[in-house]
Amino acid sequence: LNLCKELLANPGNILILFPEGTRSITGEIGEFKPGIGLLLAGTDVPVLPCHLAGAFEAWPKGRMLPRPGRLQLMIGAPRNYATLPPGKRSALQVCQELRQAVLELAVLNRTKLDPTEIIAGTRSSTRGGCDHG
């Protein structure tokens, strides 16, 4: 995490993280590791939650090389966690909020809805989803 913090401290750097820590064996979105929250809580780093549909079908865990396939990337609205104090409680909150945002993007990817059609505040029925590590 220290290297990631150093990279993000320099303006213009971009860091792509996969907060589950590994590829899914089922294709479902897994628990987010707490590192994403520890990295972001209390920082002014903008975060773009993303969902990549088709990745599991193209390159399932255990397969050496990807298969040809179609992928669709859904990018959510930027988020910022500067107002949260650094620490485990804030890290868990960041983790839960980001996972929820990714789950909502996954629904959009499956239903092929236009993101502008989403009503603000709509939530999925999925709760929690963070590894309390």
In tens, the pLDDT along 80-92 reads 999 999 999 999 9
Residue 75 is part of which domain span?
2-117
Q: Is there a domain that residue 125 lies in?
A: no
Whether pLDDT at 115 is above 70: no
Confidence of residue 123 (pLDDT cuts 50, 70, 90): very low
Mean residue pLDDT of the chain comes to 86
Q: What share of the chain is helix, strand, coil (3-state, %, to 5)?
A: 35, 10, 55
- Is there a domain that residue 123 lies in? no
How would you class 94 by CB atoms within 10 Å of its CB: exposed for 0-12, middle for 13-18, buried for 19 or more?
Answer: buried
**Would you give the DSSP letter of residue 26?**
S
Dihedral angle sign, alpha carbons of residues 97, 99, 103, 105: positive
Nearest Cα neighbor of 36 from 84, 103, 98 is 98
Strand partners for 75: 50
Q: Does the pTM of the predicted model rise above 0.85?
A: no
Q: What is the C-alpha separation between 96 and 34, in angstroms, rounded? A: 9
Report the number of distinct structural domains present in the chain: 1
Closest CA to 92 of 35, 26, 25: 35
In a domain? residue 130? no
Is pLDDT larger for residue 32 or for residue 130? 32
pLDDT higher than threshold 50 for residue 104: yes
74 lies in some domain: yes
pLDDT at 49: 96
Q: Where are the alpha helices (DSSP H) in 33-75?
A: 35-40, 55-58
> Looking at per-residue confidence, does 26 or 125 come out higher?
26
- Position 51 scores a pLDDT of 94
pLDDT of residue 11: 85
pLDDT at 56: 92
Confirm whether 42 is domain-assigned. Answer: yes
Q: Is residue 131 part of a domain?
A: no
Report the distance separating Cα 124 and Cα 103, nearest Å.
7
